[in-house]
Amino acid sequence: MFHIEKVKFSWSLAGGIASTVALISLVHLFVYPVVPSLDYLNAQKVQNPCLPLNGSSEGGKSNGQAIRSRVDLDNQFPADSHNAVVYRGAPWKARIGRWLSGCDSVTEEVNVVEVIGGLSCKDDCSGQGICNHELGQCRCFHGFSGEGCSEKLHLDCNYPASSELPYGRWVVSICSAHCDTTRAMCFCGEGTKYPNRPVAEACGFQVKLPSEDGGPKVTDWAKADLENIFTMNGSMPGWCNVDPADAYSSKVHFKEECDCKYDGLLGSFCEVPVQCTCINQCSGHGYCRGGFCQCKNGWYGADCSIPSVLSSVGEWPRWLRPAQIEVPTNENLTGPLVSLNTSLKRKRPLIYVYDLPPEFNSLLLEGRHFKLECVNRIYDDRNATLWTEQLYGSQMALYESILASPHRTLNGEEADFFFVPVLDSCIITRADDVPHLSMQDHMGLRSSLTLDFYKKAHNHIVSQYPFWNRSSGRDHLWFFSWDEGACYAPKEIWNSMMLVHWGNTNSKHNHSTTAYWADDWDKISLDRRGDHPCFDPDKDLVLPAWKIPDANAVKLNLWARPYEKRKKLFYFNGNLGPAYANGRPEVTYSMGIRQKLAEEFGSSPNKKGKLGRQHAKDVIVTPLRSENYHEDLASSIFCGVLPGDGWSGRMEDSILQGCIPVVIQDGIYLPYENVLNYDSFAVRLREDEIPDLVKILRGFNETEVKFKQANVQKIWQRFLYRDSILLEAERQRNALGRVDNWASAFLQFSEDDVFATFMQVLHYKLHNDPWRQQVGPQNKESGLPQECLMKAT
């Protein structure tokens, strides 16, 4: 415990500033009874004017001067026969691998000052929002607005009515019962037995049975189904009056279209309250209200991870510890204290994360109408984690990892990169959710709607912060999880680094490739989008898609299955287009590539009963859903990586099961392809080489195949968001005192994952991107020897 007498701190000083935020902050610093954790066991003596919480104030010599050996990158790290340089098990492109081997590996900590904000907000946001203590601005909950969140919004569930459509045209939030106009969500309402039970979408409207066997049901959005919702009939009461116990015991029936779609509720009748999904689950410093973190006093940020001067030092996150806190003196206290400076030892690169207004992230989560949308997990009736198969879940995973990372900084002056957290994964899945997210002004295009979100975020950071103009945004990071990547990015942000899942350079496929009309970006005017490609390999990065943490596959070591046990030469399982039953009807789907593969090697009969022209026993190309997909991949030597509507998750599927990926999509970069040496672990074929696929694959000798497979086995964790998975495991252990099977399975691994790879790429770019020479001297400690720093040209 810290004792007040150990600090040279005057009670007269405290009295002099009793009405200011400073006193509250200092009381927390010196009087709050802190039980030291392991992080505090090495606390040293107090120095004036700083209070060290842990460790020594003396660090290593700056700019890597303590590194004894000179770095001669070219001679020390020659490329191998595949023109790769291996660093931490991964075969990198030679120039990158050399720098990482000789420089990233010897990085030292540097001194960084972190700023703890203390600006207050109007009326403390009226209890209907969270104060950003860095800007002194409120972040209002769903349905509230204004400088102090005192204005209540009216968010309709329905579009305007007409004689033909008394409940308005269809939208996901359409409601025939009671609309909660703060969230635009439909509930049973007063007068029913269960007024808080959701009446989501088709539940409240008449459903016509199919006219033929196997046909789809059709909902009539003009006719409410009030009888099936509200009736009190004893044998068949309406949804809003069904007693769960009676229904579960089969005493009554209820409408099948009624279910529990909203987050925070579980059970067939939404009778079980469960934990909602929030960013980092509010970091233990707040309450998750459907996706928006309601932070405790003294904390703010999208995940309540940023301490203000009102916070307790003992609760600060690990990435802000150990720290030395500057104690203000009498001379410095000329007004209310609005910030505190703390000194830390940090390794570069450092990322500043903008705390954007919630319309770009938290409100999109809080207002979603389907609990699985744009999140990588939900919770069951024991509040245990249920991982989702949402491919867009990578955006949440990376965002959470950055927020909890020791590479995060609160000091934009010290930052090397700036992350702008727009959750386009939510806009993709929520574009038709509610009238206030209307695409009416966007020709019905989700791509156009999303472009506007990014442009508004750009306008916000330019008007509120000084950092964009210093580099014209080139040190800013934007994540586009969209199927075709950053094709629709507004021209204002194109200088920045785009993080995508699909790197179309537009060299061959130079128009929108999606078969889904609402994602077509060709129709967006050039004065909004500009005339940029979808991907620039010199500045952008392709990141892996999210894959559900499969504990069984990990325990079976499918990724490590040896060559001798892989009996199939080539495997591809997926939609093959209109020639097959239930295939995508659009001829433009997959740019026709999957269709060409099926024409040559299809192993399942198409609608005409024909197999591929060159079908072979050990070559599987089928649209039939596998009963054990991961096992089939792990039983194959080569696996196909072909596009869908833009990117698909086939690259990740292949790598995670130890299968050598065969990439067939011209002019398109796959995950890490502009930084890793693909020739070391993959095969890339031109689209016009599809007829020669099997001949080419059989042409690889066993030595080359085993070489590639060995590299796949070394890098598979780089395609896994393990950091995000383990953050959740730690949260569950702290909250519930248990370690679930999925956590146990992944805790055994420690190789570099997606996030570690991402940080290595950023570190390389920090000291090797030529544009940084144009922005003038940074005067920042690098923690590197001079040989690792970019030479002026």
Least confident of 311-315, 367-371, 447-451, 767-771: 311-315
Contact 719, 754 (CB under 8 A): yes
Top-confidence residue, 55 or 495? 495
pLDDT of 28 strictly over 80: no
Work out the average pLDDT over 244-251.
80
pLDDT value for 33: 31
Top-confidence residue, 597 or 24? 597
pLDDT value for 38: 28
Who contacts 136 (Cβ-Cβ below 8 Å, separation ≥6)? 119, 120, 121
Q: Which helix (H) or strand (E) holds 25?
A: helix 21-30
Percent of the chain topping pLDDT 90 = 76
The mean of the pLDDT values for the chain is: 88
Q: Which helix (H) or strand (E) holds 694?
A: helix 693-698
Least confident of 141-150, 330-339, 517-526, 699-708: 330-339
Helix (H, G, I), strand (E, B) or coil at 54: coil
**130-146: pLDDT as tens digits:** 999 999 999 999 999 99
Q: 551-719 has which CATH code?
A: 3.40.50
- Closest Cα partner for 481 from 505, 497, 501? 501
Burial of 751 (0-12, 13-18, 19+ CB in 10 A): middle
Angle formed by the axes of helices 394-403 and 754-768, to 10°? 70
Half-sphere exposure of 407 (CA within 13 A, CB side): 21
Work out the average pLDDT over 281-293.
95
282-to-287, 300, 319, 355, 410 alpha-carbon distances in Å: 7, 9, 16, 14, 18
Least confident of 3-7, 492-496, 644-648: 3-7
Least confident of 223-237, 556-570, 643-657: 223-237
| Residue type at position 732 | Q
351-353 and 129-132 strand pairing:
unpaired
pLDDT of 30 strictly over 50: no
- Closest Cα partner for 304 from 731, 19, 756? 731
**148-204: pLDDT as tens digits:** 999 999 999 999 999 999 999 999 999 999 999 999 999 999 989 999 999 999 999
Q: Which two tokens stand for residue 217?
A: 């049901």
pLDDT of 48 strictly over 60: no
pLDDT of 23 strictly over 50: no
pLDDT value for 209: 83
Contact 702, 116 (CB under 8 A): no
Top-confidence residue, 60 or 211? 211
pLDDT value for 308: 94
Least confident of 38-42, 598-602, 733-737: 38-42
3-state helix vs strand vs coil in the chain, percent to 5: 35, 15, 50
pLDDT of 557 strictly over 90: yes
Burial of 290 (0-12, 13-18, 19+ CB in 10 A): buried
pLDDT of 560 strictly over 70: yes
pLDDT of 55 strictly over 60: no
pLDDT value for 98: 96
pLDDT of 401 strictly over 50: yes
User: Domain limits of the chain?
Assistant: 73-106, 551-719
Q: Which two tokens stand for residue 738?
A: 């248990």
pLDDT value for 247: 80
Q: Which two tokens stand for residue 727?
A: 């953050």
Rounded Cα distance, 319 and 408, in Å: 7
pLDDT value for 645: 93
Who contacts 262 (Cβ-Cβ below 8 Å, separation ≥6)? 185, 198, 200, 270, 290, 369, 371
Q: Which two tokens stand for residue 31?
A: 């009087």
Q: Which two tokens stand for residue 299?
A: 């904390």
Top-confidence residue, 702 or 17? 702
pLDDT band at 24 (very low <50, low <70, confident <90, very high): very low
Contact 263, 368 (CB under 8 A): yes
pLDDT value for 777: 62
Contact 337, 17 (CB under 8 A): yes
Cis bond before residue 195 (omega within 30° of 0)? no
DSSP string, 341-394: EEEEEEPSP-EEE----GGGTHHHHHT-SSTTTT-SEEE-TT--EEE---GGGH
Half-sphere exposure of 758 (CA within 13 A, CB side): 30
Beta bridge partners of 542: 500
pLDDT of 466 strictly over 70: yes
**524-542: pLDDT as tens digits:** 999 999 999 999 999 999 9
Cα torsion angle, 786, 766, 651, 739, sign: positive
Burial of 329 (0-12, 13-18, 19+ CB in 10 A): exposed
pLDDT band at 402 (very low <50, low <70, confident <90, very high): very high
| Residue type at position 529 | R
Rounded Cα distance, 222 and 211, in Å: 20
- Which contacts of 6-12 are long-range, i.e. CB under 8 A and separated by 24 or more positions? 6/46, 7/46, 7/51, 7/327, 8/46, 8/48, 9/327
pLDDT of 60 strictly over 80: no
Rounded Cα distance, 729 and 502, in Å: 29
- Using alpha carbons only, how large is the chain's radius of gyration in Å? 28
pLDDT value for 337: 61
Top-confidence residue, 581 or 68? 581
Q: Which two tokens stand for residue 342?
A: 């703390």
